[in-house]
Amino acid sequence: MMHSCIQRRIRSLCLIFSLCNSVLVFASHAKHLCRPDQKDALWEFKSEFYVDGLHSDGTPVDKKTERWKNNIDCCSWDGISCDPKTGILPDSISNLKYLRVLSLGGCSFYGQIPSSLGNLSYLTNLDLSHNEFIGELPDSMGNLKKLTDLGLDHNKISGNFPHVLLNMSELTQIDIGSNQFEGMLPSNMSSLSKLVYFDINENSFYGSIPPSLFMIPSLIQLYMGRNSFSGPLEIGNISSLSPLGFLALGDNNFNGPIPRFITKLVGLWYLDLALWNTEKGKVDFSIFLHLESLTFLDLSYINTRSRVDLSLFSDLMSLGYLDLSGINLKISPTLHLLSPIEILTLSSCNIAEFPKFLKTQTSLSYLDISANQIKGQVPKWLWRLPLLRYVNISQNSFTGFEGSADVIQRSEILLLDISSNTFQDPFPLLPNSTKFFVGSNNQFSGEIPKTICKLASLDTLVLSDNNFNGSIPRCFENFSTKLSVMHLRNNSLSGTFPEESIGDHLKSLDVGGNRLSGVLPKSLINCTRLEFLNVENNMIHDTFPFWLRLLTNLQVLVLRSNEFHGPISSPAFSLSFPKLRIFDISKNRFTGVLPSYYFAGWTAMSLVIDIVDIMPSRFEGRDSGNLYNSVSMTAKGLVMELVGSGFTIYKTIDVSGNKLQGDIPESISLLKELIVLNMSNNAFTGHISPSLENLTNLQSLDLSQNRLSGEIPPELGKLTFLARMNFSYNMLEGPIPQGTQIQSQSSSSFAENPRLCGVPLQETCGRGDDATTQEQEDEDGEKDQVLSWIAAAIGYVPGVFCGVVIGHILSSYKRDWFMKIFHSFA
């Protein structure tokens, strides 16, 4: 809600009005009092942003209202101060021509940026970041000739680079990062002669970078990462380079040698060249030795073929951040780095021994040596590093820990990822400071240690793919106010799921692949933040949990391969899952008929919606928020494991292997973003609806082993992404549609339909001119039915519109580190 944003800072600049994380700055002629029209306009503008009878600080509207009304001097109102220099407020925001600072960041605004903002010709600072603005930047923005700071980052603004900005010569800061801009940058970037800060990170810009950008005499910080820039970076003979201190070019498609002009940037302290595609795998690492001021260096996954000696970087005395992931490293046992490294990432570097030089890195707070070939035990001296808080040693061949059982417990570790090794018992004792522990895919056995229950700050617990047995500890109730991720998947846990172990902060719960019995704990209804729930492959004996519809943030629901039974619809209410993207209830004993409107409220499968990240960011040890989420699914005839980023792609419905009856609900055709639909091995009857042609993103369709009749609709041939389909073991008849990808399927996809004919079956079709018109009448009836349930769906979700988006705001961990905005773990 907009009023929930109003709690942020209020600056004392000229005339300031706090509004939804916002700051409005004006100028005033009056030395003491503002004019009546100014007061009225402020009052009118303010009133538009307070709703539900409460202000952001919880003060009832009437109390603060009375204080404003009783004081005729608006310059002394709460959140307002005046500067006796020029002009004041007209009646509406579009006419506030003396407005100087407008900050509306993080207020959930949507739609296009209004062209009326161009009327605010006195604006010097404009912040519309972290909203949901769409469309192109209006040309009227060119009227803002006095604008110095422009923040439009983290929206969905599109189009080419706004040429209108090139005429705004006073701009010192431009931030349009994390949007949907595309195209090439204009060649005359040097017209922004006062630019100091330029951020176009995370867009879709392509082509080469214009050399004029590096000619801006004031440019210090340049963020251009995570785009699609390509080609070698060549700037020619420029007599005067920008005094760059911050240069981020990583995660693009550059090729060719590392540009040598970098050596002339003597003040450079931040350099990101990740994923640079060097020419023939040759990299001249001596380039970086000239950059003595470097404190941040990211060369991860540049494609050098040679083995690189880590000692090459020993002369960079100021390095605080170093990422050489993906580079084949040589690390001498006698190596000694003098730089005070705080964050070190050496993932996938073919390291075979634990790096001994780390023993003297007393400033180290973050260490990632994952995905290497290190064997044996983790040295006990590692836990004595005084500032070490984040450790990722996953995907190696470690077997244990040197030292006593409490060697780790004496540290102050916050995050520890030891997954995908061969660790065995005893299970390590963890320090009370632990917030994130990932121990999956090891060889731990026995009962889950109750010592874990003493970790009062634990947020993430991942113990999947081990050999734990026994029951889920009841003492997990100690986590009820903290734990957000609990994954115990693929162990041998048994017994019932204890109600008290469910904390109301849970966002992700995975207990699939165990031997749990009983019913699904109804205490989950208190987990209003729950987004991921997987209980597949257990022995849970229960009816369908209709109460899960109250968890409006649920995105993944997997109940497959259990003993659920009974109907999955109720005449008392509609089953709405507005954010659900994976629904798998296969291989149970569900029964009954699904009403035609069954899928009408499943908004996320109807619209293009971004995934929400529910796990800690890469800075806390992960490349993806969903790295430890996984489910098995059947698609295109194969059983596959869907892990991590797969959740951003697949929108799946699998109700196969049950006893569902009646017609396939017509509302299924509402789900235009559906990728996989599996309704096989049930008792569905009736015809296959032509309305399935609306599922334009469908890649896999399985309707086999039902009692479907009639013809295969030719309209399915319009589904160009549909690569695999199965109609076998039904009562279908008539010709298989020709000239489409349908006939390219193997004959097994149409087997055991005695009256079906045409390629790829051997049966030929001998249909004559006496075909009745009954089929056409049936089709017309089906279309009428489609119209009726579409109308019902429109009535059911009146608030749904095309711009609905689940906000996915993922800040760059690199920039966070450099701005010293560390996670607070107090």
- Model pLDDT, residue 189: 93
Residue in 32, 35, 10, 13 with CA at minimum distance from that of residue 22: 10
* pLDDT reading at 698 higher than 90: yes
Mean pLDDT of 745-759: 92
Find out whether 293 and 318 touch, Cβ atoms under 8 Å.
yes
- Model pLDDT, residue 469: 97
- Model pLDDT, residue 58: 46
- Model pLDDT, residue 584: 97
* pLDDT reading at 131 higher than 80: yes
Structure tokens at 389: 């808080």
Mean pLDDT of 397-407: 94
pLDDT tens for each residue of 157-194: 999 999 999 999 999 999 999 999 999 999 999 999 99
Cα separation of 86 and 766, whole Å?
88
- Model pLDDT, residue 195: 97
End-to-end CA distance of the chain: 28
CA distances (Å), 361 to each of 53, 336, 366, 371, 403, in order?
56, 9, 11, 21, 20
Q: Which helix (H) or strand (E) holds 789?
A: helix 774-796
Structure tokens at 95: 């006419």
Cα separation of 100 and 506, whole Å?
44
Confidence of residue 808 (pLDDT cuts 50, 70, 90): very low
Task: Choose between 287 and 641: higher pLDDT.
Answer: 287
Cα separation of 715 and 732, whole Å?
16
Q: Which of 16-20, 433-437, 798-802 has the lowest mean pLDDT?
A: 798-802
Cα separation of 312 and 299, whole Å?
13
* pLDDT reading at 458 higher than 60: yes
**CA angle (239, 242, 244) in 5-degree steps:** 140
Residue in 627, 621, 585, 628 with CA at minimum distance from that of residue 465: 628
3-state secondary structure of 39: helix
Task: Choose between 627 and 230: higher pLDDT.
Answer: 230
Q: Please give the single-letter amino acid code of residue 471.
A: S
DSSP letter for each residue of 65-132: HHHHHH-S-GGGSTT----BSS----SSGGG-TT--EEEETTS--EEEPPGGGGG-TT-SEEE--SSE
Confidence of residue 416 (pLDDT cuts 50, 70, 90): very high
Q: Please give the single-letter amino acid code of residue 305.
A: R
- Model pLDDT, residue 798: 32
* pLDDT reading at 326 higher than 60: yes
Mean pLDDT of 284-303: 91
Q: CB atoms < 10 A from the CB of 740, how many? A: 16
- Model pLDDT, residue 744: 84
Spatial CB neighbours of 278, under 8 Å, sequence gap ≥ 6 = 255, 256, 257, 258, 302, 303, 304
* pLDDT reading at 63 higher than 50: no
SS3 labels along 98-114: CCCEEEECCCCCEEECC
Query: Which residue reads 């629904």 in tokens?
Result: 583
Mean pLDDT of 559-581: 93
Q: Which of 93-97, 501-505, 574-578, 797-801 has the lowest mean pLDDT?
A: 797-801
Cα separation of 799 and 229, whole Å?
39
Confidence of residue 47 (pLDDT cuts 50, 70, 90): low
Residue in 184, 180, 145 with CA at minimum distance from that of residue 165: 145
Spatial CB neighbours of 722, under 8 Å, sequence gap ≥ 6 = 698, 699, 700, 701, 716, 741
- Model pLDDT, residue 478: 74
- Model pLDDT, residue 109: 79
Confidence of residue 682 (pLDDT cuts 50, 70, 90): very high
- Model pLDDT, residue 239: 66
* pLDDT reading at 694 higher than 70: yes
Mean pLDDT of 397-416: 95
Task: Choose between 785 and 767: higher pLDDT.
Answer: 767
Cα separation of 234 and 231, whole Å?
9
Q: Which of 68-72, 211-215, 548-552 has the lowest mean pLDDT?
A: 68-72
Mean pLDDT of the chain: 81
- Model pLDDT, residue 345: 97
* pLDDT reading at 80 higher than 60: no
SS3 labels along 810-823: CCCHHHHHHCCCCC
Q: Residue 52: is it exposed, middle or buried by C-beta count within 10 angstroms (0-12/13-18/19+)? A: exposed
- Model pLDDT, residue 92: 53
* pLDDT reading at 735 higher than 70: yes
